[in-house]
A = this chain, B = another copy of it.
Amino acid sequence: METRELRYFVAVAQERHFGRAAQRLGIAQPPLSRAIAQLERRLGVTLLERTSRAVTLTEAGAVLLREGRAALDAVEAAERRTRRAATGGPSLVLVTKAGASSELLAKLLDAYAAEPGAVAIDVQLCGVGEQEGLLRDGRADVALLHLPYDSAVGFDTEVLHTEGQVAVLPAGHPLTTRPHLTMAEVAAIPDLPMPRWPRRDGSYPDGPGPEVRDNAQLLQLIGLGRTTAVLPESVRASLQRDLATVPVPDAPTVTTLIAWPPHSRSRALAGLVLAATRL
């Protein structure tokens, strides 16, 4: 099976429409129809049920969509990492959520830079939930993840840090005088609806709260009195003076992990992981 065939199939399977898929792929519709038919013939498997009105996936088609996306990510990762290995640029790209673990990250980078043989590390900040994709398709080599917010499924990891969570409120809010709060109390604060985070596909659920992509945006919106949130206590290190925090003992404990694709143990990565575990 060639990656071209896989790309074509994934496009059709996602769009559920040959014409739109062809447009997205930058080719005409007839060659696409033919390519899919040929793929089905070669596999000996019907992947799509087409009527002239709708295209639906068969069970086997659903399997190929799921597995094929992972395979295409792997191919893309191979290509990107090869290109990066050659163009002597940063030999390691670390990705983490904007506005999270900044203190830990600074310590990690300092500790690694002090090691003999340390290479340049590119730090890339992204929105919540984007790390996995970046790591999977080779745009990044290593990530800081936060359980239970992120999922570490399919990666190698080491635990770096665990911590409780605190509610972040605008300074002067009446509840800032309380010694602690419960999750239920925070969720019920009048006029401060909880923010809405993007789903895996990038869309946002409905609700009263503001849409946010990362912690930096979130903290700014809290300062503006538009929302509130329960975050790991380490955010206190990077708070402006207009924000206050109150412990939330019944919030789930947050575990910070360093994560990397399981098979890619380069020398540089091994050094960084070692430095991280010694923090």
- For the complex, give the distance between the alpha carbons of A4 and B75 in Å: 12
Contact of A82 among B43, B74, B261 (CB under 8 A): B43
**Would A264 and B2 be within 8 Å (CB), given that A45-B83, A60-B82, A154-B156 are in contact?**
no
The answer to whether B75 touches A3 (Cβ under 8 A) is: yes
Q: Closest CB of chain B to A134's CB: distance in Å?
A: 15
- For the complex, give the distance between the alpha carbons of A264 and B154 in Å: 11
> Is A213's CB within 8 Å of the partner chain B?
no
Q: Closest CB of chain B to A59's CB: distance in Å?
A: 6
The answer to whether B81 touches A67 (Cβ under 8 A) is: yes
> Is A173's CB within 8 Å of the partner chain B?
no
A-side interface mostly = helix
- Give a binary string over A130-169; 1 marks a CB under 8 Å from any B CB, 0 the rest: 0000000010000000000000011110000000000000
The answer to whether A43 touches B156 (Cβ under 8 A) is: no
Interfacial chain B residues near A75, Cβ < 8 Å: 1, 3, 6, 71, 74-75
Interfacial chain B residues near A1, Cβ < 8 Å: 3, 75, 78-79
- For the complex, give the distance between the alpha carbons of A206 and B13 in Å: 52
The answer to whether B154 touches A86 (Cβ under 8 A) is: no
- For the complex, give the distance between the alpha carbons of A262 and B262 in Å: 11
The answer to whether B71 touches A67 (Cβ under 8 A) is: no
The answer to whether B82 touches A77 (Cβ under 8 A) is: no
> Is A178's CB within 8 Å of the partner chain B?
no
Interface residues in A, total, Cβ within 8 A? 44
The answer to whether A70 touches B59 (Cβ under 8 A) is: no
Contact of A67 among B2, B6, B44, B138 (CB under 8 A): B138
The answer to whether B60 touches A85 (Cβ under 8 A) is: yes
Q: Closest CB of chain B to A238's CB: distance in Å?
A: 32
- For the complex, give the distance between the alpha carbons of A105 and B150 in Å: 33
The answer to whether B63 touches A85 (Cβ under 8 A) is: yes
Interfacial chain B residues near A45, Cβ < 8 Å: 82-83, 85-87
- Give a binary string over A48-91; 1 marks a CB under 8 Å from any B CB, 0 the rest: 00000000001111111011101101110111011101110000
Q: Closest CB of chain B to A88's CB: distance in Å?
A: 10
Interfacial chain B residues near A261, Cβ < 8 Å: 154
- For the complex, give the distance between the alpha carbons of A6 and B3 in Å: 10
> Is A263's CB within 8 Å of the partner chain B?
yes
Interfacial chain B residues near A156, Cβ < 8 Å: 153-154
Residue of chain B at shortest CB distance from A263:
B70
Q: List the 10 closest pairs (A to B, CB-CB), nearest first.
A: A154-B262, A67-B78, A60-B86, A71-B74, A45-B86, A63-B85, A64-B82, A74-B74, A60-B85, A153-B262
